[in-house]
């Protein structure tokens, strides 16, 4: 068992369907300049007929195997860190990925922390490699198409207009020298556990013949729209910066040692604020403008694209930062 582990490489999958800012403007009623400059989007991906959550994850896993040259039989563990919104109401996508890629020696489990899921997944992969003598190679994989459940006429959830569709994967190996996973940190504020829900289809409000046509219960809704933004806004930046500071401390560093930052997709004003808090210029932070917010997958797709575009160089100390509804904030530090 090695004390260190690194990310061998990434895989991504984007559907062919794309809504540019012109279409988003028509769909949401927001002026084009607001979509581009205030929301920070060139466009978002959305699912075609065959782009199921499992399909997106499988294609990303296949792309990851191609990019890394790893034999799927080498994989000891697959952690599916995608959404519970998938092909069926009760369905495990991780085993579907395992079967599709031929990872016959891998055990599989799923973990979900909404859009924060990638951070505990990275931490868990590292812990398994450090503590389990049978685990040397781990794949993280996820699919995401929650924008199916966005009602663009609901202005109270306009911060969900950036949701986009994708699949993402990475492979982590014991003693791999590059992209080494250092510290990770998460923080949860349970006051927000039911702040955003899809009302219908669960045990509290099952679908019935009488309500199945009601559009309200089939999309994301704010439970307390009058107070949510103020309550969340009061703590969000503190927790994004705080989890990164703790992740850096676990790694033996501070903000001043950070070379680059990759947050989830957020509006430009929010990105500017968090960069100022951690002491990095905006040009040292990746912006997912061309992709939108792909849920928990931002934490793999952002690094994959930043590396591809030459934003990160070998040896850089890179911070990842994200947050997920319910509400959990998380950060990780990676030595590229």
- Measure CA of the first residue to CA of the last residue in the chain; give whole Å: 21
Does residue 52 contact residue 86 with C-beta atoms inside 8 Å?
yes
pLDDT tens, 88-137? 988 999 999 999 999 999 999 999 999 999 999 999 999 999 999 999 99
In tens, the pLDDT along 12-43 reads: 999 999 999 999 999 999 999 999 999 999 99
C-alpha separations of 272 from 216, 268, 275 in Å: 34, 6, 5
Strands 107-110 vs 77-80: parallel, antiparallel or unpaired: parallel
Sheet holding 107-110, edge to edge: 107-110, 77-80, 137-144, 166-174, 5-13, 180-188, 328-335, 317-324, 260-263
Residue 1 pLDDT > 80, yes or no? no
> Of the candidates 4, 10, 1, 2, which has an alpha carbon nearest to the alpha carbon of residue 320?
10
For the segment 257-276, the average pLDDT, to the nearest whole number, is 98
Per-residue pLDDT at 82: 85
Distance CA 77, CA 318 (A): 25
- For the chain, domain boundaries: 5-177, 182-335
What is d(CA 56, CA 47) in angstroms, rounded to the nearest whole number? 9
Contacts 24+ apart (CB under 8 A), 223-227: 223/194, 223/195, 223/196, 223/197, 224/195, 225/156
Q: For 182-335, CATH number?
A: 3.40.47.10
* Reported confidence tier of residue 83, pLDDT bands at 50, 70, 90: confident
Residue 43's beta-bridge partner residues?
Answer: 20
CA-to-CA dists, residue 31 to 26, 152, 161, 199, 293, angstroms: 8, 14, 13, 29, 20
| pTM for the whole structure | 0.97
Cα separations in angstroms, 279 against 220, 260, 272, 282, 335:
34, 11, 10, 10, 18
User: Are the beta carbons of 271 and 287 closer than 8 angstroms?
Assistant: yes
pLDDT of 3 over the 90 cut: no
Asked whether 200 and 218 are in contact (CB, 8 A), the reply is yes
- Cβ proximity of 326 and 197 under 8 Å: no
Torsion of CA 276, 277, 278, 284, to 10 degrees: -20
What does R_g of the chain's alpha carbons equal in angstroms? 19
> pLDDT digits over 146-194, tens only?
999 999 999 999 999 999 999 999 999 999 999 999 999 999 999 999 9
Rounded CA gap, 212 and 205, in Å? 11
Q: What is the pLDDT of residues 209-262, one digit of tens each?
A: 999 999 999 999 999 988 999 999 999 999 999 999 999 999 999 999 999 999
Task: Say which residue the tokens 């505990």 belong to.
Answer: 120
> What pLDDT is stored for residue 68 in this prediction?
98
* 35-56: average pLDDT: 97
| Matching fold, domains 5-177 and 182-335 | yes
| CATH architecture observed for domain 5-177 | 3-Layer(aba) Sandwich (3.40)
User: Are 290 and 78 spatial neighbours (Cβ–Cβ below 8 Å)?
Assistant: no
Share of the chain above pLDDT 90, in %: 96
């Amino acid at each position: 068992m090695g004390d260190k582990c690194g990310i061998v490489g990434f895989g991504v999958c984007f559907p062919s369907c794309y809504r540019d800012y012109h279409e988003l403007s028509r769909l949401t009623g927001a002026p084009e300049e607001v979509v581009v400059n205030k929301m920070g989007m060139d466009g978002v991906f959305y699912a075609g007929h065959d782009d199921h959550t499992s399909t997106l994850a499988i294609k990303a896993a296949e792309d990851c195997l191609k990019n890394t040259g790893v034999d799927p039989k080498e994989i000891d563990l697959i952690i599916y860190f995608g959404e519970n919104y998938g092909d069926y109401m009760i369905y495990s996508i991780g085993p579907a990925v395992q079967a599709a890629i031929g990872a016959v020696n891998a055990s599989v489990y799923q973990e979900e922390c909404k859009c924060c899921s990638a951070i505990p997944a990275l931490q868990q992969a590292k812990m398994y490699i450090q503590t389990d003598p049978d685990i040397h190679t781990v794949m993280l994989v996820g699919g995401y198409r929650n924008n199916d459940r966005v009602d663009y006429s609901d202005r109270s959830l306009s911060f969900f207009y950036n949701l986009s569709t994708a699949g993402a994967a990475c492979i982590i190996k014991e003693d791999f020298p590059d992209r080494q996973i250092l510290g990770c940190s998460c923080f949860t504020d349970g006051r927000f556990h039911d702040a955003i829900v899809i009302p219908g289809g669960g045990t509290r409000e099952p679908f019935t013949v009488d309500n199945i046509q009601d559009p309200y219960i089939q999309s994301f809704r704010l439970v307390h729209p009058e107070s949510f933004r103020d309550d969340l806004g009061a703590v969000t930046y503190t927790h994004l910066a705080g989890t990164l500071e703790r992740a850096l401390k676990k790694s033996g560093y501070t903000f001043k040692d950070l070379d680059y930052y990759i947050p989830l997709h957020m509006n430009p004003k929010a990105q500017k604020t968090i960069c100022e808090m951690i002491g990095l210029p905006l040009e040292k932070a990746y912006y997912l403008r061309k992709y939108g917010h792909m849920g928990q997958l931002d934490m793999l797709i952002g690094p994959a694209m930043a590396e591809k575009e030459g934003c990160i160089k070998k040896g850089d100390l890179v911070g990842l930062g994200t947050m997920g509804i319910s509400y959990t904030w998380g950060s990780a530090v990676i030595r590229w």
